Structure 1
Amino acid sequence: MNGIAIEDDYAGGNIRVIGQASGVVALEQQLRDTSGWWFYWSFAATAAEARAVAFEFANGEVIGPWGPAYSRDGIEWTWLGADASGSSRASFAYAFEAGEKAYFSYCIPYQQHHFETFYARISPHPLVRRKVLAVSERLRALPLLVAGDASAERHILITCRHHACESVSGYVMEGFLEHCLQPPYSLFLTQCKLHYVPFVDLDGAERGDQGKGRAPHDHNRDYTDRPLYRSTAALTAYASALPLEVGIDFHSPYLWGGRNDRPFIVKRRSPMKEEIERFGALLMRATSRSEAAANELRYDGAHDIEAGEDWNQPNDRTCSSFFERRGARLAFSFELPYFGVEGGVVTPDSCRRFGADFAAALEAYMLEGGRHDEDR
């Protein structure tokens, strides 16, 4: 194909090539079993000769404000830059060296191999244990991490990747856990037990599915009496055996613009609303400590979406609804932007720092809650 080879047969790959001519490759994201339009894509391209190539997408504007995510090895990712796409959000250009292979993606990926690299770093810790939550439909073992004292009676459950393409949470949780594991050990390791599910839809994440809007329903609409997916059935059973105090489900929202560019909480109705706002105040304080930093993700409760506002309508089939039904004192979905804003661009490192702030805020919330419970 004019010296440009396109592939997506790697973890997270997703592309359909429509055609190629005169240094232009026409392509589109694969929707697969997604019931509507969505935007995730990821592919690798190899050029036999040094040349500039334009990649043009035929199914919507799917290039973010910093251009595509870019990698030379499929492991370490950065942004190619806004100049790569110019004024168009449906195309970008790249100048290849002869024989060069480059990876491109809608957003910065987080695959199971990223998780395994992270787990290898923390696995020697005496208070970290790994379990298998379930075996997926495609026979993948879904990892479950448990951190904390085995005798702890306070339980926190955090889930990610109910929607396969929402990858930012993996880096946030790396920062979260590293904060908790640094000596002196945090509250989570002395008084609480933290349960972490990094990939609810591991099959989708590894296959490069959209995940959002999967037919007949996606994993975050599967908290019913008869779950369709093995992972949600196993998570339901696992969480039901815990005296759950906190349940948080991480997501990423829609494309870019408005609150989609900022971290925000999907609020629930009273009395959960008041607990969410208590935690939100602590998170705002934690993320505002680094005002002088050049690139930090910051949370501001002004960007939260209220219950009943816009798309945040009552739905008892979501994970956060399930957490609330299980009796959690604090339960919500948290949305992490794919791209961020100037001064707060999403990168693996900025996400890890945000995760550390998130852990500090949750620790403060638990400490305050503990004192409050004892005083009643």
Structure 2
Amino acid sequence: MIQIRSDYAGGNIKVVSVDEVVRVEQEIRDSAYWWFYWSFCIRCDEERDVVFEFTNGEVVGPWGPAYSLDGIHWEWLGAQSVLSAKSFVYRFAPDHPEVYFAFSLPYQVRHFERFYERIKTLPIVRRDILCLTKKQTEVPLLLVGSADAPEHLFFCSRHHACESTVNYVLEGLLAFLIEDHPASGFLERYCIHFVPFVDIDGVENGDQGKGRAPHDHNRDYVEQPIYAVTPAIMRFVRALRPVVGMDFHCPHKWGERNDHVFIVKTGTGADRRIERFGQALSELSRGLDDARDIPYDPANDIEMGDDWNQPYPTCSSFMIQENVPMAFSIKIPYFGLVEGQYTADSLRRLGGRMAQALKIYLCEKSV
């Protein structure tokens, strides 16, 4: 007997039929157009192969689904599991009858809480609440650095609920700066302010988040916002006056530029500073020891006016308007390349190199 459920944080699936083949599809919910996120848990007490087929578009990535036996630790099922971009196969074993599958590597609030648990006793780490959502959910705000720091950095992620790989990068970025701080003193001069889940309700509900009608969170930087968190971010950034503002996103599902880390250029004077940061990150990407490490090449960046990069109201465009000297969005793919498919650890290592690049950029800025 097969049982499928999505009644957990991040769950998203519609069961179409359970026969010889299990047919499912992602729930679009209140997104205005097609998107690709899904996540479900299945129990099968028989030792056998089960074929899963998606009935609403190509949503099985090149390494197959992410899978987990506990819903916390995730890895790729592997390319050998892929039957097509719409189907995969999994062999159930008696000792693990229940398995979680997802479009990409999930990152929920409980992952953040596990990270916070490891650092919360450090004197340079503090936690606050940015605001409450309309559902009265607390939006966490993590502060890393001296309370008396003269300059500030602002990071945020999950304007679109399904864009999960970015949080592993941010874990790595913060962990590097925390570990580096005793020797460098970086966090005495700079305090980091981090909103890990802008659309926290969507993240926990398992929504797509992208294209949410009438507009999603990243299009809510307007005169009359419809979400509680966006005006809270606007007030916070205006009062904070950060020297760096980075908004972390994932791109489309896969293919071409979407398989590479890239920066979304702004078409303003901030691009010169963005390029200095990008050059530092690119140089740190050369000669990586581990083939699984994730490189960055500025050639993949997208210029303002190209393709979908148009002057919409976004978090990064708001920060540019507020004269944040270096503000931009950076895109972290869901999957990566054949020679370097993403893992939680490789994403964290990428975050560490971003931290190094930020240090280089800020050091040059202060000279």
Q: Give the TM interval when normalised to the shorter protein.
A: over 0.9
- The equivalent of 2:138 in structure 1 is 141
Alignment of 1:181-220 (within 5 A): 181-185=178-182, 186=184, 188-220=186-218
State which of 5, 8, 16 in structure 2 corresponds to 1:7.
5
Q: Does the Cα contact within 8 Å between 2:181 and 2:187 map onto a contact in 1?
A: no
Once residues 27 and 323 of structure 2 are traced to their aligned partners in structure 1, the CA distance between those partners, rounded to angstroms, is 39
Q: C-alpha root-mean-square deviation of aligned residues, in Å? A: 1.1
Q: Does the Cα contact within 8 Å between 2:36 and 2:253 map onto a contact in 1?
A: yes
- The equivalent of 2:334 in structure 1 is 338
Q: TM-score, length-normalised on structure 1?
A: 0.95
Q: Does the Cα contact within 8 Å between 2:157 and 2:196 map onto a contact in 1?
A: yes
- The equivalent of 2:122 in structure 1 is 125
In structure 2, the residue corresponding to 1:313 is in which secondary structure? Answer: coil
- The equivalent of 1:51 in structure 2 is 48
Once residues 209 and 168 of structure 1 are traced to their aligned partners in structure 2, the CA distance between those partners, rounded to angstroms, is 15
- The equivalent of 2:62 in structure 1 is 65
- The equivalent of 1:308 in structure 2 is 305
Alignment of 1:103-114 (within 5 A): 103-114=100-111
Tell me how far 1:287 sits from its aligned partner. Answer: 2.2
In structure 2, the residue corresponding to 1:241 is in which secondary structure? Answer: helix
- The equivalent of 1:97 in structure 2 is 93
- The equivalent of 1:228 in structure 2 is 226
In structure 2, the residue corresponding to 1:165 is in which secondary structure? Answer: coil
Tell me how far 1:153 sits from its aligned partner. Answer: 1.8
Once residues 48 and 233 of structure 2 are traced to their aligned partners in structure 1, the CA distance between those partners, rounded to angstroms, is 49
State which of 160, 182, 188 in structure 2 corresponds to 1:163.
160
- The equivalent of 1:374 in structure 2 is none
Is structure 2 residue 98 aligned with structure 1 residue 78? no
Q: Does the Cα contact within 8 Å between 1:187 and 1:363 map onto a contact in 2?
A: no
Once residues 139 and 69 of structure 1 are traced to their aligned partners in structure 2, the CA distance between those partners, rounded to angstroms, is 31
Q: Does the Cα contact within 8 Å between 1:147 and 1:188 map onto a contact in 2?
A: no
Once residues 156 and 187 of structure 1 are traced to their aligned partners in structure 2, the CA distance between those partners, rounded to angstroms, is 15
In structure 2, the residue corresponding to 1:244 is in which secondary structure? Answer: coil
- The equivalent of 1:318 in structure 2 is 314
Once residues 54 and 28 of structure 2 are traced to their aligned partners in structure 1, the CA distance between those partners, rounded to angstroms, is 14
Tell me how far 1:203 sits from its aligned partner. Answer: 0.3
Task: After superposition, give the CA deviation of every residue in 1:333-376 in whole Å (9 maximum; x if it has no partner).
Answer: 000010000232111000000000000101111111011xxxxx
Once residues 179 and 244 of structure 1 are traced to their aligned partners in structure 2, the CA distance between those partners, rounded to angstroms, is 20
State which of 329, 344, 363 in structure 2 corresponds to 1:367.
363
Q: Does the Cα contact within 8 Å between 2:148 and 2:188 map onto a contact in 1?
A: no
In structure 2, the residue corresponding to 1:56 is in which secondary structure? Answer: strand
Is structure 2 residue 18 aligned with structure 1 residue 20? yes
Once residues 289 and 361 of structure 1 are traced to their aligned partners in structure 2, the CA distance between those partners, rounded to angstroms, is 16
Q: Does the Cα contact within 8 Å between 1:188 and 1:194 map onto a contact in 2?
A: no
Is structure 2 residue 56 aligned with structure 1 residue 40? no
In structure 1, the residue corresponding to 2:12 is in which secondary structure? Answer: coil
Gaps in structure 2 of 5+ consecutive residues: none
Q: Does the Cα contact within 8 Å between 1:8 and 1:42 map onto a contact in 2?
A: yes
Task: After superposition, give the CA deviation of every residue in 1:316-346 in whole Å (9 maximum; x if it has no partner).
Answer: x100001111111101100001000023211
Tell me how far 1:288 sits from its aligned partner. Answer: 2.1
Superposition misfits of 4+ residues, deviation over 4 angstroms: none
Aligned residues, how many? 365
Is structure 2 residue 27 aligned with structure 1 residue 30? yes
In structure 1, the residue corresponding to 2:281 is in which secondary structure? Answer: helix
Task: After superposition, give the CA deviation of every residue in 1:132-175 in whole Å (9 maximum; x if it has no partner).
Answer: 01112222211101111111121110000000000011110111
Q: TM-score, length-normalised on structure 2?
A: 0.97
In structure 1, the residue corresponding to 2:22 is in which secondary structure? Answer: strand
State which of 351, 358, 364 in structure 2 corresponds to 1:355.
351
- The equivalent of 1:172 in structure 2 is 169
Once residues 250 and 102 of structure 1 are traced to their aligned partners in structure 2, the CA distance between those partners, rounded to angstroms, is 29
